[in-house]
């Protein structure tokens, strides 16, 4: 049962040196004679010695653990992000504890508290709302945090995001270029920075092109297929139905697509559709969704880079704000070149 795991004590005894010398040899500290080091390393290998990181953590106050908190790991978007984080963390000598909040602030808070007890070195938060009191708590307690994907209303913390406002503008310009004039937006929840910024881009583009903002063309809700489906059904049944829908996530766009298919509207001929996120299924030929790239994997890697810089850094109040450029991925659903030529103005 008790398969006595070897410790540096055993090694020290066998090598006939002190614990300190063993510790130094194992940690590649140069202040050990080469000969002594070799002897110790050999004994360690022979005993199949593995350092006890718990003990190390207790004294060094570092766990090499990073907490990643997302809305839902089943969401393709977060899964890709998580993989980027995992890979970069591994390369940097860290491990990742993942947990999902379902966008519930209560869950977020209790998870953060548990992670603090676990002694994680820092937090990567991918699913904060615009106001998130627990983040301020972390900052006050001087615990490293980086936001990824979504920002706070305030700017007092490091983040890695894409320019969501710009992304929305790209979408709108694409639709307008293809002759759409009655463009609706089906959006997520406006207490998220991503949604707020995409909505802002939508409005700005309308204004810039002299199109009027119609309240019935704006449906806030959540980043789900169900919301996309329900909102689209309603909009497409209006006498003055939109000729294009901007789904603020690919999931929303999929719901819109289903609604349009059921109602007999052809995409893109009867209805132009654009999503956001460039999740994998959007490239499926049967879906063929025009969307906005998010570089999720890279965003994850950058998040780890920033958090490790904070953890290992000397400056106390180092903050790093990275904003990535979005790109429009043009596929069929948003309208094809043919349609552009026969643009109808309504």
Partner DNA sequence: CTGAAAGCGCTTACAG
C-beta atoms surrounding 299 within 10 Å: 22
Q: Verify binding: residue 34, DNA, rule CB under 7 A.
A: yes
Q: Verify binding: residue 114, a second copy, rule CB under 8 A.
A: yes
| Residue with Cβ nearer a second copy (110 or 320) | 110
Q: Please state the closest distance from residue 57 (CB atom) to DNA, in A.
A: 8
Task: Report how far apart, in Å, the C-alpha atoms of 258 and of each of 95, 173, 292 are.
Answer: 40, 24, 20
Q: Verify binding: residue 269, a second copy, rule CB under 8 A.
A: no
| Residue with Cβ nearer a second copy (170 or 256) | 256
| Residue with Cβ nearer DNA (34 or 315) | 34
Task: Report how far apart, in Å, the C-alpha atoms of 289 and of each of 79, 187, 191, 234, 241 are.
Answer: 20, 17, 26, 21, 21
Q: Among 121-129, 202-210, 242-250, 280-288, which window interacts with a second copy (CB under 8 A)?
A: 280-288
| Residue with Cβ nearer DNA (21 or 182) | 21
Q: Please state the closest distance from residue 86 (CB atom) to DNA, in A.
A: 24
Q: Verify binding: residue 218, a second copy, rule CB under 8 A.
A: no
Task: Report how far apart, in Å, the C-alpha atoms of 329 and of each of 20, 203, 332 are.
Answer: 58, 21, 10
Q: What's the rounded Cα separation, in Å, for the pair 131 and 128?
A: 8
β pairing state of 218-219 and 244-247: unpaired
Q: Among 11-19, 87-95, 169-177, 302-310, which window interacts with a second copy (CB under 8 A)?
A: 87-95
The torsion of the CA quartet 312, 316, 317, 322, rounded to 10 degrees, works out to -10
What percent helix, strand, coil does the chain show, rounded to 5?
45, 15, 40
Q: Verify binding: residue 76, a second copy, rule CB under 8 A.
A: yes
What does 38 interact with, of a second copy, DNA, none (CB < 5 to 8 A by kind)? none
Q: Verify binding: residue 266, a second copy, rule CB under 8 A.
A: no
Please identify which residue in the block is written with the tokens 């893109």.
268
Cα 168 → chain centroid: 18
Task: Report how far apart, in Å, the C-alpha atoms of 41 and of each of 26, 37, 46, 78, 98 are.
Answer: 7, 6, 9, 42, 35
Q: What's the rounded Cα separation, in Å, for the pair 37 and 42?
A: 9
**Which position among 23, 92, 99, 220 is part of the footprint of a second copy (CB under 8 A)?**
99
Binding mask 40-79 for DNA (x = CB under 7 A): -----------xx--xx-xxx-------------------
- Which secondary structure element, helix H or strand E, spans residue 117, and what is its range? helix 105-117
Q: Among 124-132, 159-167, 173-181, 278-286, which window interacts with a second copy (CB under 8 A)?
A: 278-286
- Which secondary structure element, helix H or strand E, spans residue 230, and what is its range? helix 225-236
Give the footprint of DNA on this chain (CB under 7 A): 5, 7-9, 17-21, 23-24, 26-27, 30-34, 36-37, 51-52, 55-56, 58-60
Give the footprint of a second copy on this chain (CB under 8 A): 1, 3, 50-55, 57-58, 63, 65, 72-74, 76, 79-80, 82-83, 86-87, 90, 95-100, 111, 113-119, 141-142, 254, 257-258, 261-262, 280-281, 284-287, 316
């Amino acid at each position: 049962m008790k398969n006595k795991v070897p410790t540096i004590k055993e090694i020290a005894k066998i090598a006939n040196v002190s614990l300190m010398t063993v510790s130094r040899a194992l940690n590649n500290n140069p202040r050990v004679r080469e000969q002594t080091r070799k002897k110790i390393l050999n004994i360690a290998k022979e005993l199949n010695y593995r350092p006890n990181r718990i003990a190390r953590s207790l004294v060094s106050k570092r766990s090499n653990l990073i907490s990643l908190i997302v809305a839902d790991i089943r969401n393709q978007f977060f899964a890709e992000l998580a993989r980027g984080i995992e890979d970069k963390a591994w390369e940097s000598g860290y491990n990742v504890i993942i947990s999902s909040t379902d966008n519930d602030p209560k869950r977020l808070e209790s998870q953060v508290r548990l992670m603090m007890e676990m002694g994680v070195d820092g937090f990567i938060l991918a699913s904060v709302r615009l106001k998130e009191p627990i983040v301020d708590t972390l900052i006050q307690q001087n615990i490293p945090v980086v936001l990824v994907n979504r920002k706070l209303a305030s700017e007092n913390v490091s983040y890695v995001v894409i320019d969501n406002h710009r992304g929305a503008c790209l979408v709108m310009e694409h639709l307008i270029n293809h002759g759409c004039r009655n463009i609706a937006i089906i959006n997520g929840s406006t207490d998220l920075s991503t949604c707020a910024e995409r909505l802002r881009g939508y409005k700005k583009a309308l204004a810039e092109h002299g199109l009027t903002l119609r309240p019935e063309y704006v449906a806030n809700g959540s980043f789900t297929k169900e919301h996309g489906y329900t909102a689209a059904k309603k909009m497409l049944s209006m006498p003055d139905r939109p000729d294009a829908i901007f789904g603020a996530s690919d999931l929303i766009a999929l719901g819109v697509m289903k609604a349009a298919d059921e109602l007999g509207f052809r995409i893109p001929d009867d209805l132009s559709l654009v999503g956001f996120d460039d999740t994998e299924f959007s490239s499926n030929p049967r879906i063929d969704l025009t969307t906005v790239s998010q570089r999720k994997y890279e965003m994850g890697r950058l998040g780890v880079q920033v958090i490790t810089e904070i953890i290992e850094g000397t400056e106390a109040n180092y903050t790093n704000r990275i904003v990535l450029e979005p790109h429009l991925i043009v596929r069929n659903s948003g309208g094809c070149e043919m349609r552009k030529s026969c643009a109808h103005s309504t």
